[in-house]
Chain A
Amino acid sequence: MLLSVKNLHASIHGKEILKGVNLEVDQGEIHAIMGPNGTGKSTLASVIAGREVFEITSGEILYKGKDLQKLSVEERAREGIFMGFQYPVEIPGVSITNFMRTALNEIRKYSGLDALSGGEFLKLMEEKKKLVEITSNLTNRSVNEGFSGGEKKKNEIFQMAILEPMLAILDETDSGLDIDALRIVANGVNKLRRPDNAFVVITHYQRLLDYIVPDFVHVLFEGRIVKSGGKELAFELEEKGYDWIKKEQEA
């Protein structure tokens, strides 16, 4: 099992957000996590990535059999965990080229690989740009600075393409995208799919799942996964709305 989340409880500033999440993700799988706003979807992504503001109060997260709580944010990233941000951060003064080359080489160093030379890296960048249909020369711009919402999300997928993670958690990567950008983002994910990696796609809407076909769909509600199923669950949710889940829970 690539990722095993067991009875995970997590809180922020003393407020419990995750109240016993269980989730198993294996290589080659795509999981979708859906649910109404404010039920803990982004928190789950942040906790797996290691955001320090959240406190795990009980339960565990195993990744490749290792206890993730023992690893720092950067160690998790170097072990192959990638998080696509719902709100990618603008970092003036740091070029994407510089950022990604530094990141990739740190990951390579961790895995005992040699650093890529400037030339090799530029070649890799050009190749990955095509994957997310980036035609502009955004690579010499500062990270996300002045990017449109769509550009920022494409840039997340572009970074994922360069770093080639084992486990990618995409936190509402579809929010705020027009249909063209949505298609590009989804195509990027589909092209990066391999038998040995896995994706957890967090989304509020079903429409992304028209392009990325999940193997499993989970509904996160009030800090717990209350329903799991195949891709048909997404259609059912689209049809019946989240009220259906709420009513079921109240019943």
Chain B
Amino acid sequence: MQIHLKESITRESMMGLFKANRSSLFAGDSPELSEIREKAYQSFLLLGFPDTKMESWRHTDIRESLAKEYDYYFHPPADVDAQRVFRCNIPHLDTAIIGQLNGWYVSKDVPLMELGNGMVMGSLAEAKKKYPALVEKYYGSIVDDSSEGLTALNTAFAMDGVFIYVPDDVKSPKPVQLINVIHHDENIFLQSRNLIVVGNNARLSLVHCDDSYNHQSSFSNIVTEISVGDHASLDHYKLQNLNNDTTLISSVCFRMGPSANLESHYLSFNGGLLRNNIRVLFNGPGGNANIYGLYLMDRKQHIDNHIFVDHAFPECTSNETFKGILDDQAHGVFNGHVMVRRNAVKTDAHQRNKNILLTDTAKINSKPFLEIYNDDVKCAHGSTTGQLDQESMFYLRQRGIGEESARMLLMYAFADEIVGKIAIPQLRQRIEDMVKKRLQGGLQICEQCVLHCSTPEHPMEFDIDLSKI
């Protein structure tokens, strides 16, 4: 049943929606999952929507996004031409593709794929039915519904999303690419939920794309829970290229087992209002998390990266490097909070946020923050904001490079530190292209998904050579 929310998104309209659709919402839940949903709903009623009076939402105002009218669905879209929506073509990037349309898993008759190596990928709704014990072991335990209203709201309403399970000791042979396309003729509000479990000593490379497909307004409140097992390794990419009328609240929570390793890359190229909640909990000693971010925003776009790293166990290392270029009236927020708990000795934590503001009207609120409760730690944080370096500009121009090319070269060099961390060569190449295109102002939302920006037959032309020969 399709519901058109005649009123804007409010606590009251959500209550009405929840009550009216109880049977649909709870239909796929085991008693355990029902309890989680019910508790989350109660939690949302207490917390409500965040507002700018709250410290963690001080610089991100979602009122305007909430005030629009949206469609809401309690069932998957019918008759999806998956071929058309999900033709993804990074040349030579051999990935297993999982498609989502408006948050719903898009199956081609196979709601859940079970691979020979024991990996399971597909619809979370289906996984709840088929692997209830596995889902219940993790679902709702990695996020904290009691502190974030939007996360609680997601847990209360989420019906589907993606489920990926990599069993112990299994190394996923190729990257898994999760593509969530937002495409609808009317404004749409969606709340999908993903659960990703990387078993002990297992390995997964996950490319997670958020894209919009047309220029319709959307409000996405997406929560992803990720468990990285003992000695497991996850290479995670989040690509965001959404239209200017998109509001995306993406909450990704990682729970890291002993000696688990995480590389996470947040690459944000377009979007109306983007909020990335990134939570990393070290749930055992010896873990390592590197989180990189690159955001290139212009016009009135808004990007807010909120990172919380919880060093709850000894001998873990974390490193956050976020870099942004903001043009026009774009507004960036960086909030990095590292918590080092009393017992977390030998913690090594670093935070770095660097910004280039291209105009006087672009704005950044940067707040790296360390909260440390023991003295056997190595921690550092820093934040810089500036214009393009005039000395460097003069140097490049003195060698004959034109002003516009010099600007491009410096911006590209600035971004390259983050792009260079991408471990999948084909993806790195494609992101390099996208960054070039974006910095030239050429990358709007693409005709189809983010990865169609250039095709092998039509390689990106760039007026100065930025390739390393």
Contacts and interface: CB of A to CB of B under 8 A. Distances in A.
A106 B399 CA distance: 9
B465 interface: yes
Interface string A83-106: 101001101111101111111111
A67 interface: no
A98 B462 CA distance: 13
A49 interface: yes
Contacts of B417: 92-93
Chain B CB count within 10 A is highest, among A74, A106, A107, for: A74
Interface stretch (B139-147, B265-273, B306-314, B388-396): B388-396
A140 B392 CA distance: 19
Nearest to B395: A89
B118 interface: no
B398 A88 contact: no
B400 interface: yes
A91, A105, A122, A159: residue with the most chain B Cβ atoms closer than 10 Å: A91
B402 to A, nearest CB: 5
A110 interface: yes
* 3 closest A-B pairs by CB: A93-B413, A77-B400, A103-B399
A128 B284 CA distance: 55
A103 B401 contact: yes
A102 B403 contact: no
Contacts of B465: 98, 101-102, 105
A121 B405 CA distance: 19
A99 B469 contact: no
Given A89-B391, A93-B412, A94-B413, A74 B469 contact: no
A73 B464 contact: no
B413 A91 contact: yes
A28 B392 CA distance: 31
Given A98-B468, A159-B399, 10 more contacts: A49-B398, A73-B403, A89-B392, A94-B413, A99-B409, A103-B399, A104-B400, A110-B400, A118-B469, A163-B400
Contacts of B466: 98
A51 interface: yes
B414 interface: yes
A78 interface: yes
30 contacts: A51-B394, A73-B394, A74-B398, A74-B401, A74-B402, A74-B403, A74-B406, A77-B397, A77-B398, A77-B400, A88-B395, A89-B395, A91-B410, A92-B413, A92-B417, A93-B412, A94-B409, A97-B468, A98-B469, A99-B399, A99-B401, A101-B469, A102-B405, A103-B396, A104-B400, A106-B401, A121-B469, A140-B468, A159-B399, A163-B400
A91 B402 contact: no
B114 interface: no
Contact of A78 (B392, B400, B403, B409): B400
B467 interface: yes
A72 interface: yes
B416 interface: yes
Given A95-B468, A102-B465, A122-B469, A85 B397 contact: no
A72 B391 CA distance: 16
B416 A77 contact: no
A25 B356 CA distance: 41
A88 B394 CA distance: 11
